[in-house]
Amino acid sequence: MENNIFGPLGNEKYTEYVRDIRASAFHLLDLVGDILDTSAIESGEFSLPRSSLKVDEVMRECMKLMRVQALNAGVELAANFRAGLPLLHADRLAIKQIAINLLANAVKFTPEGGRIDIDLSATGNTFLISVADTGSGIPEDVLPDILLPFDRGRQNPHESKEGTGLGLAIVNSLVALHDGKIEIESVVGAGTTVRVWLPLDGSGAA
């Protein structure tokens, strides 16, 4: 409809409304998706079918999904992937969800002209995914609670960026289900780096 496939809408205003409706629908889908994920994880009914993953391929897919948003935000996405990365025994969807949530936050909280560095590396039995941005940063006093569901840090509810405060909680749960670890390093006004360590063999796996 937005693209007038079946003929023109007649008035420019209609096109604008259709665009708004479409944006709202996507926003609701995001919201419902986050809530469903959270409840599924908490009820323990989140199955994690593991396979041997090429994380660099998964990450490139996620970067593709975020490309338009990054472009619109005027933020550069840079991939720094170590050569000869080992396979990661993990759930593909979970890894995608972790990556997309971290990338979406980095894009959302980084002003125009900023940069997001996505690093992949591995040492010993551990895979490291790192997403570093040059964005607004997270105040030190709210950092300890930032992984909790619905915690939105210092987002002013009246003028804040869209979101549910569930993204990082979901990331945290999915990382825990893989016996991994998450670390957030942040400096207000300078940027945020989120590091996720995952055991290569998915130890403790189902």
Ligand X SMILES: Nc1ncnc2c1ncn2[C@@H]1O[C@H](COP(=O)(O)OP(=O)(O)O)[C@@H](O)[C@H]1O
Residues that bind ligand X (CB under 6 A): 101, 105-106, 109, 133, 135-138, 146, 151-153, 155, 163-169, 192
Going by C-alpha positions, the residue among 98, 115, 97, 96 that lies closest to residue 107 is: 115
Total count of residues recorded for the chain: 206
Going by C-alpha positions, the residue among 152, 79, 70 that lies closest to residue 114 is: 70
Q: Is 173 in the site for Mg ion (CB under 5 A)?
A: no
Angle at the Cα of 162 from the Cα atoms of 160 and 164, rounded to 5 degrees = 105
User: What is the Rg, in whole angstroms, of the alpha carbon atoms belonging to the chain?
Assistant: 18
- At its nearest, how many Å lie between Mg ion and the CB of residue 104? 6
Neighbouring-strand partners of residue 88? 53
What CA–CA distances, in Å, run from 97 to 50, 91, 122? 14, 10, 20
Question: Which partner, Mg ion, ligand X, none, binds residue 153 by CB below 5 to 8 Å per kind?
Answer: ligand X
Nearer to ligand X, 104 or 122 (CB): 104
Q: Is 105 in the site for Mg ion (CB under 5 A)?
A: yes
What CA–CA distances, in Å, run from 154 to 7, 71, 144, 161, 194? 46, 26, 13, 11, 18
- At its nearest, how many Å lie between ligand X and the CB of residue 48? 21
Contacts of 123 (CB under 8 A, 6+ apart): none
| DSSP type of residue 145 | G
* Segment interacting with Mg ion, rule: CB under 5 A, options 34-42, 46-54, 165-173, 180-188: 165-173
Nearer to ligand X, 73 or 122 (CB): 73
Q: Is 167 in the site for Mg ion (CB under 5 A)?
A: yes
Which single residue brings its beta carbon nearest to Mg ion?
167
Nearer to ligand X, 33 or 165 (CB): 165
CA distance 109 to 146: 14
CA distance 60 to 75: 16
Residue count, binding to Mg ion (CB under 5 A) = 2
Question: Which partner, Mg ion, ligand X, none, binds residue 164 by CB below 5 to 8 Å per kind?
Answer: ligand X
- At its nearest, how many Å lie between ligand X and the CB of residue 164? 5
Site string for Mg ion, 56-95 (x = CB under 5 A): ----------------------------------------
Nearer to Mg ion, 143 or 205 (CB): 143
- Contacts with Mg ion by CB under 5 A lie at 105, 167
